[in-house]
């Protein structure tokens, strides 16, 4: 998300930092470009105007203009204001013991999938969630939620067959026995429509009044631009939502909805969907997204992703393998799968400071899959002892992976180079220790 906006803003500030002395004219020219970049990214016009005005007021302060690095100071101000625009601090769920969460939104926004993702997230936090389908008009919606519940091992309280009364269905779900002595959370996946209409809003109002949930979360597709802002405004006016879940934040859309949502609704973005998989769901942290837009990366987020994906024991084993240069294709495959668990590699690279400025930053996912297919086509012995891979074995691996022998040879060549580098590094480390011993 935000590739074009991020590139334009970084270019604007790069030019601004190039000036040793900054005048009001320099600031005005830069912020004019910033406003255009925001509007092109589909940010609400009024939001963009007010945002630029706030940045300008602070940027033209005497302390900034007379500082040693005025360009850097303005970038700092912009980062702070962008963080504030996105909501400032992260907003946790307001759950006190067992509770109820009402999920609302239009069809196609990712409402049902987000309900399941939220259930999986809460389960990891130690809660005992139950999913409750409330769209009794579409049997497919109920079936989808049941399927997703099985994937994350979370119970789904489906309504009785032929039940068409939503309040009766949710009342039965609430009465159902949860885990005794545990913090039970009911997540209600409500009905949606292709567009907002009065019958939908009235049904949701009645349901909210009946349930009295602690949280009413609106699911919004981040790729829908200005329409998403309009949808959020209508839902907030009717239901007094307590937070927003932004889906498809991993897409390449312009992303103005994310930047407009907080200021227009005055409600925080609480979670973001960052991929199609059920574990690609995270707490929305404004400061980190602001840093990524401005090319500052998100090292903390990257470390957290790695900590979730890598077991300490696996990391220690890999370190020993690298140190002793005994790294083989079994280890290669294990690390490949670990990287996959962290999410799309292009997203991971984007979390590194400065990487968004690298031209042509992209990852060929098809090539990565071919590489994985080649390794999977090897026997366990071949992965452990790549030296035995003669011409006949390479031909078999090429056929099994759907690749060419040339591609197999190229992978083996690069792998061999990597192992030689490891051996050289190991020898250098040993030599340095010997030299240190002689110097004592």
User: Can you tell me the distance from the alpha carbon of 377 to that of 404, in angstroms, rounded to the nearest whole number?
Assistant: 13
Strands 243-247 and 269-273 come out as: parallel
| Count of all residues that appear for the chain in the document | 440
Three-state DSSP class for residue 39: helix
Domains recognised in the chain with CATH numbers: 3-85 (1.20.120.140), 99-296 (3.40.50.300), 326-439 (1.10.260.30)
Extended strands (E) in 84-234? 99-104, 128-133, 184-189, 215-221
The contacts of residue 217 (CB under 8 Å, 6+ apart) are 101, 102, 103, 104, 118, 241, 242, 243, 244, 245, 270, 271
Between helix 391-401 and helix 405-439 the angle, nearest 10°, is 110
Please give the pLDDT value at position 425: 54
Rg (CA), the chain: 26
**150 — pLDDT class (breaks 50, 70, 90):** very high
pLDDT of residue 421 exceeding 60, the answer is yes
Which of 79-93, 267-281, 291-305 is the least confident region? 291-305
Q: Show the tokens assigned to 23.
A: 């005048």
Extended strands (E) in 238-344? 243-247, 269-273, 281-283
Cα-Cα-Cα-Cα dihedral of 221, 211, 214, 124, to 10°? Answer: -70
Three-state DSSP class for residue 425: helix
- Cα–Cα nearest to 261, from 283, 286, 288, 287: 286
Higher pLDDT, 243 or 73: 243
Three-state DSSP class for residue 131: strand
% of the chain residues with pLDDT over 90: 20
pTM of the model: 0.66
Mean pLDDT of 289-299: 64
Own/partner pairs for 295-303, CB < 8 Å, 24+ apart?
295/6, 295/10, 295/353, 295/354, 295/356, 295/357, 296/79, 296/353, 297/350, 297/351, 297/352, 297/353, 297/354, 297/355, 297/356, 298/351, 299/351, 299/352, 299/353, 301/351, 302/348, 302/351, 302/352
pLDDT of residue 152 exceeding 90, the answer is yes
- Classify residue 156 by its DSSP letter: B
Strands 269-273 and 281-283 come out as: antiparallel
* Angle (CA) 277 280 282, round 5°: 155
User: Can you tell me the distance from the alpha carbon of 333 to that of 314, in angstroms, rounded to the nearest whole number?
Assistant: 13
pLDDT, one tens digit per residue, over 207-238 is 999 999 999 999 988 777 677 778 888 889 98
* Angle (CA) 55 57 60, round 5°: 100
**423 — pLDDT class (breaks 50, 70, 90):** low
Which string of DSSP letters, residue by residue, matches 51-88? Answer: HHHHHHHHHTSHHHHTSS-HHHHHHHHHHHHHHHHTTS
Please give the pLDDT value at position 357: 47
The contacts of residue 167 (CB under 8 Å, 6+ apart) are 206, 207, 210
pLDDT of residue 144 exceeding 50, the answer is yes
User: Can you tell me the distance from the alpha carbon of 31 to that of 340, in angstroms, rounded to the nearest whole number?
Assistant: 39
Which string of DSSP letters, residue by residue, matches 197-230? Answer: -HHHHHHHHHHHHHH--SEEEEEEEGGGTHHHHH
Please give the pLDDT value at position 63: 67
Handedness of CA 256, 259, 265, 268 (dihedral sign): positive
User: Can you tell me the distance from the alpha carbon of 390 to that of 140, in angstroms, rounded to the nearest whole number?
Assistant: 53
Cβ contact 309:338 at 8 Å: yes
pLDDT of residue 289 exceeding 80, the answer is no
pLDDT, one tens digit per residue, over 348-385 is 555 544 444 444 445 566 777 888 899 899 998 898 88
Higher pLDDT, 47 or 418: 47
Half-sphere exposure for 419 (CA within 13 Å, toward CB): 18
Could you give the C-alpha distances from 187 to 85, 119, 138, 219, 274, in angstroms and in order? 29, 7, 18, 13, 20
Mean pLDDT of 43-59: 87
Maximum Cα interatomic distance, the chain, rounded to a whole number of Å: 85
Cβ contact 121:316 at 8 Å: no
């Amino acid at each position: 998300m935000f590739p074009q906006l991020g590139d334009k803003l970084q270019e604007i500030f790069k030019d601004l930092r190039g000036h040793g002395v900054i005048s009001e004219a320099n600031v005005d020219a830069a912020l004019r470009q910033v406003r255009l970049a925001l509007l092109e990214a589909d940010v609400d016009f009024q939001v963009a105007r007010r945002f630029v005005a706030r940045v300008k007021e602070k940027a033209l302060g005497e302390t900034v203009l007379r500082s040693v690095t005025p360009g850097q100071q303005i970038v700092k101000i912009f980062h702070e204001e962008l963080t504030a625009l996105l909501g400032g601090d992260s907003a946790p769920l307001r759950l006190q013991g067992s509770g109820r969460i009402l999920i609302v939104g239009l069809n196609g926004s990712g409402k049902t999938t987000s309900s399941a993702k939220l259930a999986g997230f809460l389960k990891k936090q130690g809660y005992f969630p139950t999913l409750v389908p409330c769209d009794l008009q579409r049997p497919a919606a109920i079936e989808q939620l049941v399927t997703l519940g099985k994937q994350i091992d979370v119970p789904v309280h489906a309504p009785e067959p032929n039940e068409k009364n939503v309040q009766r269905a949710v009342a039965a779900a609430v009465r159902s026995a949860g885990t005794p002595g545990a913090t039970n959370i009911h997540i209600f996946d409500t009905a949606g429509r292709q567009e907002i209409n009065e019958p939908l809003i009235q049904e949701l109002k009645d349901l909210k009044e009946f349930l009295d949930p602690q949280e009413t979360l609106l699911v919004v597709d981040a790729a829908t631009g200005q329409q998403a802002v309009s949808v959020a405004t209508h839902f907030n006016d009717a239901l007094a939502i307590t937070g927003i879940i932004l889906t498809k934040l991993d897409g390449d859309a312009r992303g103005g909805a994310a930047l407009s949502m907080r200021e227009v609704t005055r409600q925080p973005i609480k979670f973001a969907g960052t991929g199609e998989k059920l574990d690609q769901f995270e707490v929305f942290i404004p400061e980190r997204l602001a840093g990524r837009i401005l090319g500052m990366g998100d090292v903390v987020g990257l470390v957290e992703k790695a900590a979730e994906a890598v077991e300490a024991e696996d990391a220690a084993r890999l370190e020993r393998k690298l140190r002793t240069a005994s790294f083989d294709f079994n280890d290669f495959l294990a690390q490949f799968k670990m990287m996959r668990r962290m999410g799309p590699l292009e997203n991971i690279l984007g979390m590194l400071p400065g990487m968004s400025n690298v031209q042509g930053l992209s990852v060929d996912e098809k090539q990565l899959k071919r590489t994985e297919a080649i390794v999977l086509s090897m026997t366990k012995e071949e992965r452990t002892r790549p030296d035995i891979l003669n011409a006949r074995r390479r031909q078999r691996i090429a056929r099994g992976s759907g690749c060419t022998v040339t591609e197999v040879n190229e992978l083996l060549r690069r792998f061999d180079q990597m192992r030689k580098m490891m051996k050289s590094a190991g020898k250098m480390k040993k030599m340095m220790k010997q030299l240190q011993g002689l110097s004592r």
